[in-house]
Amino acid sequence: MQKDIKKWKENVLEIIFNKKETNNVVRVLSESLNKLIFVINTEGKVVYINTKAQKYFKLLNYNNNIESFFDIGKDYIHSYLEGKAFSSIKIILKSDAFYIDIAPITLNSEIVGGLIVIYEKNDSVSFETTFQLLNNINKEIELFYAMYYDEIMVTDDKGKIIGVNNPVCEECYNLNEINLINTNVKELEDKGIFKPSITLKVIKEKKHISILQKTQTGKVLMVYGLPVFDSSFKLSKVFSTSKDLTEIYTLKEKLSKTEKLMEKYYLKLKEIKNEQNLFENVIYKSSQMRNLIDLIKRISMVDSHIILNGESGVGKTLFAKIIHKLSNRRNNEFVSINCGAIPENLLESELFGYEKGAFTGAKNEGKTGYIELANNGTLFLDEISELALQMQVKLLKVLDEKSFTRVGGIKPIKSDFRLIAATNKDLEKLTKENKFREDLFYRLNVIQISIPLLRERKDDIPLLVNFFIEKYNKKYNTNKKLDPKVFDVFLEYKWPGNVRELENIIERLVVTIDKNLIEKSDLPSFFFNQDYQTVQIDQILPLKKSIDNLEKQLLGKAYEIHKNTYKVAEVLRISQSSVVRKLKKYRININSNSNL
């Protein structure tokens, strides 16, 4: 396509002047002028000669190069290729004196050919006639290319206006010809009549230029400026033409604003989608998890250090990655290290890296440590409670100074990272037992997040079970389902391994059970061998009174947890009416706002 456009531009003059339906204005004007007129392409080949020129040179055809007709020097003839125009150059043809004007023909600021006008009598308006013809040729080409120029302005070599076409100037600048003639364009530019001035640019650069110009009336013009030189190559005049593009420009601006707005909405939707993707593996409906997710979204955008608390299997690593992905550091590294999985004697070199030859067995090129890799990103230290006290001192120094030194090195290395630490132990308790440094604990303990245990959010268990069943059915191409009684067992189980244990159990059942319906009898035996808390006997009481005391404690504890007689009945496996009756019997207070 680009190649076709280039070829079209190269041949545009031949196309225009060989068209029978070409605008008569160009031909009529060319034939009506008492001048010899040539139109040439960028290679100097003649593509059009008016009748007067054909008769003068006695031509039957004119597929010749322009230099074969007369010799005025290549500097003049080819000046139009540089965007320059010349006027009133004296030449001799057949012993007669003539004057010649040369000007470039353009299409969208690109030179596609040249106009040569030869005449006998030289006067001050000769080039204006040439320029009028040039403008009509450009109009014909631009019209063919869906655009042409409206306004014409002529200045001298200093920028003083010596000619305008009045109606268009009034429309564009709100000034008539009287206000413009003999006024310098610099003065008009300074007053904000139009800006920038094409004439001043042409005078400065001495070549044809096209720019977008804004006027005091709110118009946006495409302006084309042409320098005109005399025979001594001195700038004599500047001709400029303009096309009103206000409507197109306004539409373009509106389109640009719409595109920016669409881009803004697109980025927002992308952000929402990315956030949804981040939480797609976090399955929940419980209030505990809703509160956790809301908290994570809020604290992710700040750069404070975080401690994630929770038993094994609650998803501390998953939430650490989510925090990183939601943070301003999301485009940099998330570096994870399990402090309990690496031997103490290797942990320092893993965290800080080492220089060449730092110790026996070290790599020849040295090694980059996790802290250095986490620069501008996030460093996640899982099981931070397993970090040796000596290593805790070094980590505290890194957090304070934001720099470290490799093992065997002497040069400090800067590293700006956000630290997320995770533990399944009570760090505050460990500090009191002198097993964890107090200063490091308080340095880390800016934001502490406790991840709910699975047994504390039983509402989420059915959702998680269905999610994992679907996941592993898809993975192993099966169609397993759970009997409702299996859900009952799952709801009663304590889940010491939390979500990780639940997922592993589901995968195990999908893989090992050879029927589609998984029943209660298919579950591992440990589901039915949970240790229940023994009743502490402080004194010997009559059996009935002891039973009544135990029943009262059970009812009170169950109601304190569930706040609902139907739930209590379900848990204790008695009827709801029995629960209500026994609560009254033991005078256990029922909250009036509770859902009986």
Mean of pLDDT values over 294-299? 92
Token pair 């190069």: residue: 65
355/353 Cα distance (integer angstroms): 7
Return the SS3 of 420: strand
Pick from 132-136, 194-198, 325-329: least confident = 132-136
Q: CA-to-CA distance for 474 and 483, rounded, in angstroms?
A: 19
Q: Which two tokens stand for residue 407?
A: 């093992």
| pLDDT value of residue 12 | 61
**pLDDT at position 14, please?**
66
Beta strands 96-107 and 85-93 are antiparallel
Confidence band for 149, pLDDT divided at 50, 70 and 90: low
**pLDDT (0 to 100) of residue 16:** 65
Q: Do 178 and 219 contact (CB within 8 A), yes or no?
A: no
CB neighbours (10 Å) of residue 578? Answer: 14
Q: Spell out the residues 6+ positions from residue 531 whose beta carbon is closer than 8 angstroms to its own.
A: none
Residue 225 phi/psi, 5-degree rounding, is -115, 140
The arithmetic mean of pLDDT across residues 211-221, rounded, is 87
Percentage of the chain surpassing pLDDT 90?
Answer: 32
Distances (CA, A) of 60 to 93, 115, 247, 317, 471: 19, 21, 47, 90, 87
Q: What's the distance, CA 267 to chain centroid?
A: 7
pTM across the whole model? 0.49
**pLDDT tens profile 360-408:** 666 777 788 899 999 999 999 999 999 999 999 999 999 999 999 988 8
Q: Do residues 286 and 454 make contact, with C-beta atoms less than 8 angstroms apart?
A: no
pLDDT band at 21 (very low <50, low <70, confident <90, very high): very low
Q: Where are the beta strands (DSSP E) in 31-166?
A: 36-41, 46-49, 85-93, 96-107, 110-119, 151-156, 161-164
- Indicate if 154-244 has the same CATH topology as 2-144: yes
Question: Residue 146 above 60 pLDDT?
Answer: no
**Token pair in block for residue 256:** 């640009």
- 213 contacts 223 by C-beta, under 8 angstroms: yes
Query: Distance (Å, rounded) from C-alpha 116 to C-alpha 102?
Result: 5
The confidence score (pLDDT) of residue 181 equals: 87
Q: Fold for 533-596, please state it.
A: Arc Repressor Mutant, subunit A (1.10.10)
* Over residues 579-596, mean pLDDT: 74
Q: Which of 138-152, 311-325, 491-505 has the lowest mean pLDDT?
A: 138-152
End-to-end CA distance of the chain: 77
Q: Residue 266 has what pLDDT?
A: 66
Instruction: From residue 173, give the alpha-carbon distance in Å to each of 151, 160, 225.
Output: 11, 16, 17
Full 3-state SS string of 262-329: HHHHHHHHHHHHHHHHHCCCCCCCCHHHHHHHHHHHHHHCCCCCEEEECCCCCCHHHHHHHHHHHCCC
- Report how far residue 348's alpha carbon sits from residue 369's, in angstroms, rounded to the nearest whole number: 9
CATH architecture of the domain covering 2-144: 2-Layer Sandwich (3.30)
Q: Which of 67-71, 194-198, 592-596 tops mean pLDDT? A: 194-198
Peptide bond into 196 cis (omega under 30): yes
> What gap in Å lies between CA 536 and CA 259, rounded to an integer?
73
pLDDT of 222 strictly over 90: no
Amino acid in the structure at residue 288: Q
Is the pLDDT at 264 greater than 80? The verdict is no
Domain limits, the chain: 2-144, 154-244, 287-450, 454-528, 533-596
Are 202 and 226 within 8 A, CB to CB? Answer: yes
Average pLDDT on 45-65 reads 80
Higher-confidence position of 95 and 383? 383
CATH class of 454-528: mainly alpha
- Contacts of residue 541, defined as CB under 8 A and 6 or more positions apart, other chains included, come to 549
DSSP result, 40-78: EETTSBEEEE-HHHHHHHT-S---SBGGGT--S-HHHHG
> Tell me, what amino acid is at 420?
I
The closest of 370, 322, 364, 365 to 342, measured between CA atoms, is 370
Among the listed residues 411, 398, 402, 426, the one whose alpha carbon sits nearest the alpha carbon of residue 310: 426
Of the pLDDT bands very low, low, confident and very high (cuts 50, 70, 90), residue 150 is: low
Residue 270 pLDDT greater than 60, yes or no: no
Residue 481 — pLDDT band, cuts 50, 70, 90?
very high
CA distance linking residue 383 with residue 337, whole number of Å? 9
DSSP 382: E
Mean local confidence (pLDDT), 100-106 = 86
pLDDT: is 60 or 228 the higher one?
Answer: 228
Model pLDDT, residue 228: 81
Supply the pLDDT for residue 147: 43
State the pLDDT confidence band at 61, using cuts at 50, 70 and 90: low
Rounded to whole angstroms, how far apart are CA atoms 245 and 514?
A: 76
Q: Are 478 and 292 in contact (CB under 8 A)?
A: no
CATH number of 154-244: 3.30.450.20
The pLDDT value given to residue 274: 58
- The CATH code belonging to domain 287-450 is 3.40.50.300
Mean pLDDT of all residues in 333-352: 88
What percent of the chain lies above the pLDDT cut of 70? 84
Looking at the predicted structure, is the pLDDT value of residue 551 above 80?
Answer: yes
Examine the pLDDT at 22 and tell me if it is beyond 50.
no
Of the spans 53-67, 199-213, 228-242, 543-557, which averages the highest pLDDT? 199-213
Burial of 523 (0-12, 13-18, 19+ CB in 10 A): buried
Give me the DSSP letters along 456-510: G-GGGHHHHHHHHHHHHHHHHT---EE-HHHHHHHHHS--TTHHHHHHHHHHHHH
Name the β-bridge partners of 100.
89, 118
Phi and psi at residue 99, to the nearest 5°: -125, 145
CA–CA gap between residue 319 and residue 295 (Å, rounded) = 11
